Structure 1
Amino acid sequence: MFVFLSSLLLLLFLSLSGYLEECLCRALPIFYPNPTRISSTRISSIPVPPLLLSPANACSPPPLLLILVSSAPSHRDRRDAIRQTWGGLASATASSSLTLFVLAVPDKAEERSALVHEAVTHGDIIQANFTDSYRNLTLKTLTGLVWALQKCQGAQFLLKTDDDVFVNTLALSAFLKERQGLQYLGRIHWRVAPFRDPENRHYTSHEIYASDHFPPYCSGTSYFLSLGAAGHILQEAGNGPWPPLEDVYVGILAKAAGIAPQHVAKIAGSASIPHNSCCYRTMYTSHRLTPQGMQEAWNMLKETEDHWCPPLTLLFCRTFGQPLDKGEN
């Protein structure tokens, strides 16, 4: 009886903490094809729009981790919060990371002008010539990945994330230094069915994707690719049409490329974790922070660098995190 209860408690711990998924996803490569040789011709033929803004010499010297933050033109306060916290110079130097923002073109002339001024001031904006909208998120992600392969070939890893995500760059860099080979890492979603209602913003037609379930994919709030994996994935993109769900599409491309996703328990995915210093120290990413919350999390991280955290912190952070409402990314 004791052995049974102990085993049950261990299984419950592994499940709630996310470690069980880490173990299970190790079997995924069995169901994936072997990756083929990268074709630079196929990558260069992806029809992404021309760039309007591109930070010159941003990757000189190249970082260990290139962070591409998908942002909307009106989210200047979020970008500034990131610049003042985990995306700033001090964090970048300590973690060998580089944070850039990926945007498209806003509708209003004053927003377009403000974005150019912001880019000149900070030198951290990638902008391509297409309308900035929810349905164009896939195009925005592909633009960022293409930019990385063309302009930042010395980077070892890419992080695609959103502008309401807090990133523990120092802990993350230490984790990534131990990873080798083709990597596609994040919070895995399993057996997600496409939305077939044309009125839903996540609508995916049968013409774009015919199967009843998407392959396993990493939550678009934050996922990591080694540069080599990004190349393999991009060469499967083709000419479109592309599903509007960028994280789903990356998962589809990864399946075609033979790059199986790997679950990482310390990536929050689409859940927000408790506003707690130990959680921000333990988790690599944390979702749904306001600009004020971003600054508070950064202050907690700095002020408690040597603070002891309980062994079950990860379990606490994941158990008491708040998932997004159904239908959100």
Structure 2
Amino acid sequence: MKDILKENTALSEKTAVALGIFDGMHIGHRSVIDKVCSFRSEGLKTAVFTFNSEEILTKHNKPFRYIYKNQQKLDILEKSDIDYICCPEFDSVRNMGTAEFAERILKEKLNASKVVCGKRFRFGKNAAGDYKELYELGLEYGFEVIAVPPVLDGDISVSSSAIRSLLSDGRIEKANRLLGRNYEIYGEVVYGNQLGRTIGLPTANIGFSERQLIPHYGVYASETVIDGKKYLSVTDIGTKPTVEKDIKPLSETHIIGYSGDIYGKKITVILNRMLRNEMKFSSVEELKNAVNNDIRTVINCRGDQWSPA
């Protein structure tokens, strides 16, 4: 997969292009990607136009809280067998009018023959354009616009907004179902207060990025991937109220059966099920007993039983 904007080039091959922020890469987003990939049968290359999720401040006039860090999103796209990606800096295109975007990006840069989006897709300066305007611009600039209908889970329309709400409420198993895979936290392991080591429960800490959606504060049955190997683990998301004051929320994971040094290493933590809310205990010993109980729970119900329902 190539980022053609970074290479400062235009495509000579005709393409089918998916449009969207894709901050969660959930099953609704995947339906857009799958539709684009279906046009390979017509000899088209596949492309995605998206934005750096971390640079977007608002969406639909509300503060924007993205689900995944931008690199996570790009890594998932990398596995989707897409030929080309456009992920420009948001400021470089935010003031483009709708016609300018259609002509400069879709026609000239991406050489689009088919353009696929969701029915709620907005584009152009101040998100002034909608699917209907994009359709009309397609007639003018020579590409067909296809709107993919919403994916339904029962009576719920699958969307990043719905998944954010589920994550915020601690309904991780349903969020995982709408995501189409279990929610992941990806990042570099940073130093904490290292209290866990003194009580025999070392942890790997990963911070959340600014404006990233933070799941409900609680303890989760999880799995942690280190150098391609998966370990059972227990993850606390929150502010560690028993031992800390006034810290930013983070994920703190005890990796069962692992004893290596992973400070500075990038790892992935997969949340499978919520075990309990984050609590402030009266002592470190009480905290230790609770975590050991969480570990026993995870071991007794292995992570492979917690795939999306």
Flag whether TM exceeds 0.5 (same fold).
Answer: no
- Greater relative CO, 1 or 2 (CA 8 Å, sep 6+): 1
Structure (1/2) with the larger strand percentage: 2
Question: Structure 1 or 2: larger helix share?
Answer: 1
Compute the TM-score of the two structures, normalised by the length of structure 2: 0.30
Larger radius of gyration: 2
